[in-house]
Chain A
Amino acid sequence: MSILVNADTKVIVQGLTGGQGKFYGLRNRAYGTKVVGGVSPKKAGTDVEGIPVFASVKDAVTETGATATMVIVPAPAAADAVLEAAEAGLALIVVVTEGIPMHDEATFYNRVKRDFSASRILGPNCPGLLTPGECNIGFIPAEVAKAGGPVGIVSRSGTLTYQALNELAEKGIGVTTCVGIGGDPVPGTSFIDCLELFEADPATKAVIMFGEIGGSAEEEAAAYIHAHMSKPVVSYIAGVTAPPGKKMGHAGAIISGSKGTAQAKMEVLEAAGVRVATNPTAAGELMAEVVAAL
């Protein structure tokens, strides 16, 4: 079992004919993901190493029965691509494109939420998601991941998502699904959304959550965990040593005054019953203890 994607998920790639789209579309397919089509109005009718290219998302869905898409188009084209995917009825829209303007994100998030409530956006500026052995959409280097659970992974930062997978793999711990929600200002899928899905997934017995400084998403997650999670959660918050007032790479990763510090987030998480580590490796070790006690 898994959340959001599995071996049967059919995926199209919006941007398959671009350099990045081709590289990752083919890489995802080589992993075993059912990459069934690409979208490019100009290159419709051609194919990318056997993957057919369609003129529109609607055509691609009609022809292939896809339910998920990876949006890997340049930032100025991302808002239109997301709305086209939602209008075509895709259930999962994975937006890996980075550098999308905040106002575009806020607008397409609210538009999809209101008019296309059957669609879920993951990202933007996220590394994608992986159900090991079944389906990989996006950038996650999946080779190391061990399939089958019992741990679910959710992370705000891309590279820390890989780091989490790596820490668990080194300890021989399997993963149900690994989700990178992205560090942009308006994430389509939140920590809480993923925690809720993991809580409901029978194969997931514990969850590892990697957050970072800034915003209040980790605090909101802590409140949710306290109230609703029966499964153990291990966490690490990046930016313990970050200075206040400086943007640490992500738009959201900034300590404003005394708000958004790693320490404050760690305290709130601990108070909610989460086991909190001070670095990713220590989080892997804590999770190994949790898994051994399951």
Chain B
Amino acid sequence: MDLFEYQGKQLFARYGIPVSAGAVAETVDEAVAAAERVGYPVVIKAQVQVGGRGKAGGVKVANNADEAREHAGNILGLDIKGHVVHRVWVEHASDIAEEYYASFTLDRAAKQYLGLLSAQGGVEIETVAEENPDALAKIEVDPVDGLSEAACRAWVEQAKLDPEATDGAVDILMKLYEAFVGADADLVEINPLILTPDGRVHALDAKVSLDDNARFRHPEWDEFTGLEKLDPREREAAERGLQYVGLDGDVGLIANGAGLAMATCDIVHEVGGQPANFLDIGGGASAQVMANALEVINNDPSVKSIFINIFGGITKGEEVANGIVQALAQVDIASPIVIRLDGTNAEQGREILKAHESDRLVSKPTMVEAARTAVALAQAASSASASVNKGN
């Protein structure tokens, strides 16, 4: 789960990381009121989960109420790379002497934590990594030992920040590490981390991605829910606990397991079709989960045929079959279904489906055959509707 900047700052504040005083606003009036409270000059920042806000006009300085009103009005509702701005964060503007970059994440190859610190902040860190890799100071942290203050100090010195920033940076980085581990984050990033002219080190931005697997020990995360999702299909699927990614084609896909779901997209593409989505019902899915998945696919108007590709390991064939039968009874499935069922209890599942098979529910023995059939059905449906349109 990715947090918005203001949520990330609230989280940082809980760990004692200095952030600017500010407030969230959803309307122009709220933004002006917030600006009056925190004191001019203020920075009004679009709250969207996409980079390049500044360039898109989503970050503006206001020196008085009129400017605050104008900027908030322009930013709220702005479309930044497909993300519509519903909220702004209004904070007191900081004087900046230096801009740095700091982050912690998992280094998958080393299987340890990786801290990155750079004296060149405020720009895309990928650019720094490519153009000037020496400007990036790295530290590997063993999760068992954690980060010692001595190691942290050596890391800061290696990054060649302004010497005046050293103590403040060490303090913030120790707290940032604490937040990374304690808050179960996959990523914590401050860009820019600033040094003010009066020698304070301060987090001017906050990027935090939380590990959804750790939700069971973080009841406080409930306050972060209601995050925007772009695609209404994705929102509906998320509400039903399904892993769904919307794509542009017309063959609706349901598979168990992320790898098989991706392979299903790949094979549909390869036999000349276009997948409408990626949908993983996960391991050990029940009949209800299967029925939910079918409903989500059925609600997508671009879907012309449905390909269910199940290789049961932990998922049981009879549960899958019962879910399909249940969904067929509950809702009017608009598109023909092609199913390929293999693995655990597949025989039982096929037996259950046999009684329901028709030209609307076709069973195929292999992934390739099922993909070809689903693509052919989608193409037939498209050309049929095209000729109907011509007739009109």
Cβ-defined contact, A102 with B106, below 8 A: yes
Partner of A109, one of B111, B181, B343: B111
Please indicate the chain A residues that have their CB under 8 angstroms from the CB of B265 in the complex: 239, 241-242
Cβ-defined contact, A240 with B266, below 8 A: yes
A249-B367 contact given A103-B214, A110-B143, CB 8 Å threshold: no
A157-B257 contact given A242-B262, A248-B245, A279-B270, CB 8 Å threshold: yes
Partner of B142, one of A110, A161, A166, A236: A110
Please indicate the chain B residues that have their CB under 8 angstroms from the CB of A238 in the complex: 259-260, 262-263, 266
- A286 at the binding interface (Cβ < 8 Å): no
Cβ-defined contact, A162 with B342, below 8 A: yes
User: How distant is the Cα of A181 from the Cα of B74 in the complex, in angstroms?
Assistant: 50
Please indicate the chain A residues that have their CB under 8 angstroms from the CB of B314 in the complex: 20, 24, 96, 127, 139, 158
Partner of A107, one of B143, B247, B269: B143
Q: Which residue of A lies closest to B234 (CB)?
A: A246
Please indicate the chain A residues that have their CB under 8 angstroms from the CB of B343 in the complex: 141, 162
Cβ-defined contact, B257 with A160, below 8 A: yes
Please indicate the chain A residues that have their CB under 8 angstroms from the CB of B267 in the complex: 279-281
Cβ-defined contact, A76 with B216, below 8 A: yes
A248-B261 contact given A101-B184, A185-B106, CB 8 Å threshold: yes
A141-B263 contact given A110-B112, A166-B342, CB 8 Å threshold: no
Cβ-defined contact, A157 with B259, below 8 A: yes
Cβ-defined contact, A215 with B259, below 8 A: no
User: How distant is the Cα of A159 from the Cα of B367 in the complex, in angstroms?
Assistant: 13
A159-B311 contact given A110-B144, A240-B269, CB 8 Å threshold: yes
Which segment, of A1-9, A50-58, A250-258, faces chain B? A250-258
Partner of B367, one of A76, A156, A163, A239: A163
Against B, the Cβ 8 Å flags (1 = close, 0 = not) of A139-159 are: 111000000000000011111
Against A, the Cβ 8 Å flags (1 = close, 0 = not) of B158-181 are: 000000000000000000000001
CB distance from A18 to the nearest CB of B (A): 12
- A216 at the binding interface (Cβ < 8 Å): yes
A239-B262 contact given A75-B216, A111-B144, A279-B267, CB 8 Å threshold: yes
A163-B266 contact given A185-B106, A186-B108, A281-B368, CB 8 Å threshold: no
Size band of the interface chain A makes with B: 35 or more
A250-B258 contact given A185-B106, A217-B108, A242-B278, CB 8 Å threshold: yes
Q: Which residue of B lies closest to A100 (CB)?
A: B213
Cβ-defined contact, B266 with A278, below 8 A: yes
- A210 at the binding interface (Cβ < 8 Å): yes
- A183 at the binding interface (Cβ < 8 Å): yes
- A30 at the binding interface (Cβ < 8 Å): no
Against A, the Cβ 8 Å flags (1 = close, 0 = not) of B108-140 are: 110111000000000000100000000000000
- B22 at the binding interface (Cβ < 8 Å): no
A212-B258 contact given A158-B283, A249-B278, CB 8 Å threshold: yes
List residues 54-94 of chain A with CB under 8 A from any CB of chain B.
Answer: 75-76
Q: Which residue of B lies closest to A76 (CB)?
A: B216
CB distance from B197 to the nearest CB of A (A): 35
What does DSSP make chain B's interface, helix, strand, loop or mixed?
A: mixed
Cβ-defined contact, A75 with B213, below 8 A: yes
Best-surrounded residue of B111, B112, B257, B258 (most CB of chain A within 10 A): B258
CB distance from B141 to the nearest CB of A (A): 10
CB distance from B302 to the nearest CB of A (A): 16
Against A, the Cβ 8 Å flags (1 = close, 0 = not) of B221-263 are: 0000000000000000000000101010000000111111111
CB distance from A130 to the nearest CB of B (A): 11
- B199 at the binding interface (Cβ < 8 Å): no
- A179 at the binding interface (Cβ < 8 Å): no
CB distance from A61 to the nearest CB of B (A): 24
List residues 259-316 of chain B with CB under 8 A from any CB of chain A.
Answer: 259-263, 265-267, 269-270, 275, 278, 280, 283-284, 311-314
CB distance from B265 to the nearest CB of A (A): 5
Please indicate the chain B residues that have their CB under 8 angstroms from the CB of A166 in the complex: 311, 342
Please indicate the chain B residues that have their CB under 8 angstroms from the CB of A139 in the complex: 283, 313-314, 344
- B217 at the binding interface (Cβ < 8 Å): yes
Please indicate the chain B residues that have their CB under 8 angstroms from the CB of A257 in the complex: 126
Partner of A102, one of B211, B311, B313, B366: B211
User: How distant is the Cα of A240 from the Cα of B247 in the complex, in angstroms?
Assistant: 13
User: How distant is the Cα of A106 from the Cα of B108 in the complex, in angstroms?
Assistant: 9
- A213 at the binding interface (Cβ < 8 Å): yes
- A270 at the binding interface (Cβ < 8 Å): no
- B186 at the binding interface (Cβ < 8 Å): yes
Q: Which residue of B lies closest to A242 (CB)?
A: B262
Please indicate the chain A residues that have their CB under 8 angstroms from the CB of B243 in the complex: 247-249
- A273 at the binding interface (Cβ < 8 Å): no
Best-surrounded residue of A20, A101, A252 (most CB of chain B within 10 A): A101
CB distance from A279 to the nearest CB of B (A): 5
CB distance from A180 to the nearest CB of B (A): 9
CB distance from A113 to the nearest CB of B (A): 8
Please indicate the chain B residues that have their CB under 8 angstroms from the CB of A183 in the complex: 258-259
Against A, the Cβ 8 Å flags (1 = close, 0 = not) of B368-386 are: 1000000000000000000
Cβ-defined contact, B109 with A216, below 8 A: yes
User: How distant is the Cα of A138 from the Cα of B284 in the complex, in angstroms?
Assistant: 13
Cβ-defined contact, A127 with B313, below 8 A: yes
Cβ-defined contact, A159 with B262, below 8 A: no
19 residue pairs from A and B, CB less than 8 Å apart: A102-B211, A103-B143, A110-B111, A138-B313, A140-B313, A157-B259, A159-B257, A159-B311, A185-B106, A216-B109, A217-B109, A238-B266, A241-B247, A241-B275, A248-B245, A249-B259, A249-B262, A279-B270, A281-B367
Residues of A within 8 A of B (CB): 20, 24, 75-76, 96, 98-103, 106-107, 109-111, 114, 127, 138-141, 155-163, 166, 170, 183, 185-186, 210, 212-213, 215-217, 220, 236, 238-243, 246-253, 257, 278-281
Instruction: Using A109-B111, A249-B258, A279-B367 as known contacts, list a sample of 9 further A-B pairs with CB atoms less than 8 Å apart, ordered by residue number in A.
Output: A110-B142, A156-B259, A163-B263, A213-B262, A249-B280, A252-B108, A279-B263, A281-B267, A281-B368
- Give 4 nearest A-B pairs by CB, closest first: A157-B259, A249-B258, A159-B257, A159-B260
